[in-house]
Amino acid sequence: MVQVQVRMPDKLVKEIDRWVAEGRFKSRSDAIKTIVALYEERERTRRFYEMLVKRSREAEEKPEILVPLEEIP
């Protein structure tokens, strides 16, 4: 694992400290790692959605490329 330094506004650090005090996270580090992981998941979901939209447009334009569900094992 790599250690990084991050500069954050005091207000945000106080909010993270409050979450830690409330037991939402074990530490500041845990909070930041969790927030970054949630952002990564959001980005994966966004890319997946974009792919679905693209494939939907392709299917509308070229319905012959569709594979019937019955043919999928």
* Structure token digits, residue 9: 């506004």
Q: What is the pTM of this model?
A: 0.72
Taking only the tens of pLDDT, the chain with its 73 residues reads 899 999 999 999 999 999 999 999 999 999 999 999 999 999 999 999 999 999 888 888 888 877 777 878 7
CA distance 56 to 62: 10
Domain boundaries, the chain: 10-61
Res 41: pLDDT: 98
* Structure token digits, residue 44: 């994966």
CA distance 10 to 67: 54
Sign of the CA dihedral with 22 first, then 23, 27, and 28 last: negative
Residue with tokens 């506004």: 9
